[in-house]
Amino acid sequence: MNDLTQTDPELAELWNNFISKEVQPHSNLNAKTRYLLLLAAHVATQSPEEFRLILNRALDDSVSPIEIKEAVYQTIPYAGMAKAYDFLLLTNRILSERGVKLPLAAQSTTTTNTRLEQGIRTQQEIFGTEHIDTMRANAPEELKHIQDYLSANCFGDYYTRTGLDIKTRELLTFATLASLGGTEAQMRAHVQGNLNVGNNRQLLLDAVTQLLPFIGYPRSLNAIAAINDITSKQ
């Protein structure tokens, strides 16, 4: 919004006031978590200029390059590489300009031989062994490869990485889904996943509150509806 102070001063003022005086104070999220959520949201909404501003602020506020890169990586299985790719390039460019040596330290904990097994185990830890075993067993024959992709790629390749803990990754997944829109079924599943790993209702509501100015009211209200739907059954 920096450029708008000259061309659209009224909008810039009301936007900055809304963020700094209303939205940011209405949350118990720490600064690091807020930055990571916003970075994921800006990948999902394809907003490179705001992403650049938030990334630089995050680095200035001691969020590590590894945490930032892992937050972007975590969006890939949900937003898709087509949306994430340019943001990876932008992240690398900013890190290089700041003197960060690339590539960063490796964070992968799986191999081609272990990613499926460890991915299934991670799914079971988040969603419950019975649920995952039933889901995989009931998959139609022509869709079993999708279940394997979900286990090995989404969870085995990404969730098992170090750099961010499982609670943060699951919260980032929810933020990405909320920001994409049209993901109500997946949001409900990951509201439950967040609750299962220890991210409570208030944390999820705090996350949506911080996302709202950037993703808009309809997507925010849909995310809140998903939270309400799942937490009302607890």
What would the DSSP string read from start to end of the chain?
-TTHHHH-HHHHHHHHHIIIIIITTS----HHHHHHHHHHHHHHTT-HHHHHHHHHHHHHTT--HHHHHHHHHHHHHHH-HHHHHHHHHHHHHHHHHTT--SSPPP-----TTTHHHHHHHHHHHHH-HHHHHHHHHTS-GGGHHHHHHIIIIIIIIIIT-SSS-HHHHHHHHHHHHHHH-S-HHHHHHHHHHHHHHT--HHHHHHHHHHHHHHH-HHHHHHHHHHHHHHHTT-
Query: Which residues, given as ranges, of the chain have pLDDT below 50?
Result: none
Within a domain: 7: no
Output the pLDDT for position 32.
Answer: 98
Same domain assignment for residues 93 and 140 = no
The domain that holds 99 is classified in CATH as 1.20.1290.10
For residue 145, being part of any structural domain is answered with yes
Domain extent, residue 153, equals 110-160
Same domain, 116 and 103: no
What does the pLDDT read at residue 233? 87
Structure pTM? 0.97
The pLDDT score that the predictor gives to residue 1 is 62
Q: How many domains does the chain divide into?
A: 2
